Amino acid sequence: MKRSDLAMIILIAAVSVGIAYFVANSLLGGMTEQGVKVKTVDPITSTVEEPDKAIFNDESINPSVEVNINQTEEAAAETDAEAKPATQTTPTTPTTPSTQNGSTR
């Protein structure tokens, strides 16, 4: 390989890299030097505030207690299960002989 061929390859590579840099910079954009305002967080303190009386009061509903309204089906099933012991039942329907190809033997 001659010196002129090597120099031409280096020149073409350098020009290609320069063009690629400017094309990528124009498509993607450059770095911006804008400032951004960010909210700061208040420091955590060890003081505990009194809870709101409208939400936490003595007459409020306890969500961990199950409430049944007008004996719903689940509540009725539970009371029936407690009243009756579990028994097994057998089917009373007669069995029919099996058929092959639509005809009986």
Reading the chain (105 residues) residue by residue, the pLDDT tens digits are 788 889 999 999 999 999 999 998 888 877 777 888 889 988 888 888 888 887 777 777 777 877 777 876 665 566 655 555 555 555 555 555 555 555 555
pLDDT at 102: 54
Task: Say which DSSP state 50 is in.
Answer: P
pLDDT at 89: 55
pLDDT at 36: 84
CA distance 70 to 89: 31
pTM: 0.30
